[in-house]
Amino acid sequence: MTRSKAPARGLSDMPESGFRPDLVAIGFFLVVALVFYGSLLWTGYLSLTNSRLIPSYEIVGFDQFARLVATPRWRTACVNLVILGAFGIAGSLALGTLLAILLDRDVRAEGLLRSIFLHPLALSLVITGLAWRWLLDPVTGIQSVLRGLGWSSFHLDWLADPDTAIYALVVASIWRSSGLVMIIMLAGLRGVDTDIWKAIRLEGIPLWRAYAQIVLPSLKLTIASCIILLMADVVRSYDLVIALTKGGPGFSTDLPAKFAVDHFFGRANIGLASAASVVILGFVASLLVPYLLIQRKGRA
């Protein structure tokens, strides 16, 4: 006697358990709206008050922003942001593009080299800062090693000099971010039409001119995307500063993010810290507009 096979049960036949995915999604978005956007609005409100240790509800207009502009430490932080952004972005873009071009020439062990160049990007900003802090330490770092090898006149005391400490951040930023540029630019180079390369070879154009005058100009959108991503990294370099220089010597390597955190927790000046946060938010928002325009143009 054969046993009849039971019919398969579909989702509609399953017993209802009361689980509502739509309610879960709505709840998630409500939490995001309350925590994230609510925090943004609350910070913007506090920036218009005279809040100190505890929040105040007395509106003083844009007095906190005027104080912010008049604060020497804030101006130093903004100058440092410009230096880190200009040199860090230029260096990362140049080194990453050069590495991408070298890998684009079908070098041996490309996979291994790509992994090595990408390894710094896998490290956190804290680990990156601590590693470079050890390397640039005059007692235990590169200076100590080279002097031990007989080069007694060698000096590398960037971290101890207020005029050069910011460039230690620049070097660490380039070391970490060039791998990101490399992988993005390599993808762009691999997407160049093969007919362009055939025409280059037929015309006998030197390789450096081909990249400088034909290939790289055709990757304007890719380069612009790299620049915007690097600018976002510069804005969120708080962890790197804390691990590498702690903002010193003095405030010579201060950045706007560290200024805001110090005044919120250390100096108990919530109003001024909120004003600094609003300025940082405005800068980040200004990066999103060109990034979205680039993405839209790329899809068009």
The conformation of residue 211, written as its DSSP 8-state character, comes to: I
Asked if the structure places residue 65 within a domain, the reply is: no
The residue type found at 50 is N
Among 80, 53, 106, smallest CA distance to 272 is for 53
Most confidently predicted of 83-92, 103-112, 157-166: 83-92
Tell me the per-residue pLDDT of 136-172, one tens digit each, with 9 for 90 and over.
Answer: 888 888 888 888 888 888 888 888 888 899 999 999 9
Mean pLDDT value across the chain: 84
Q: 0.85 cut: is pTM over it?
A: no
**What is the total count of domains within the chain?**
1
Instruction: State the Cα–Cα distance between residues 238 and 169, nearest whole angstrom.
Output: 11
**288 or 181, higher pLDDT:** 181
- Distance, CA of 299 to CA of 212 (rounded, Å): 25
Give domain status of residue 61, yes or no.
Answer: no
- Is 50 exceeded by the pLDDT of residue 200? yes
pLDDT bracket for residue 19 (50, 70, 90): low
| Domain enclosing residue 284, as ranges | 72-299
Residue 192 is assigned to a structural domain of this protein: yes
Q: Taking Cα atoms as reference points, which of 214, 249, 261 lies closest to residue 101?
A: 214
DSSP letter, residue 196? H
In a domain, 5, yes or no: no
Is position 14 within any domain? no
Q: Which two tokens stand for residue 136?
A: 């640039």
Q: Is residue 19 part of a domain?
A: no
Q: What CATH number does the domain containing 121 carry? A: 1.10.3720.10
The pLDDT-based confidence of 11 (bands split at 50, 70, 90) is very low
The residues, ordered by sequence, that sit 6+ positions from 44 with a Cβ below 8 Å of its Cβ are 274, 278
When pLDDT is cut at 50, 70 and 90, the band that residue 300 belongs to is low
The answer to whether 60 and 48 are in contact (CB under 8 A) is yes
Question: Is 12 among the domain residues?
Answer: no
| pLDDT above 70 (res 59) | yes
What CA–CA distance (Å, rounded) separates 114 from 227? Answer: 21
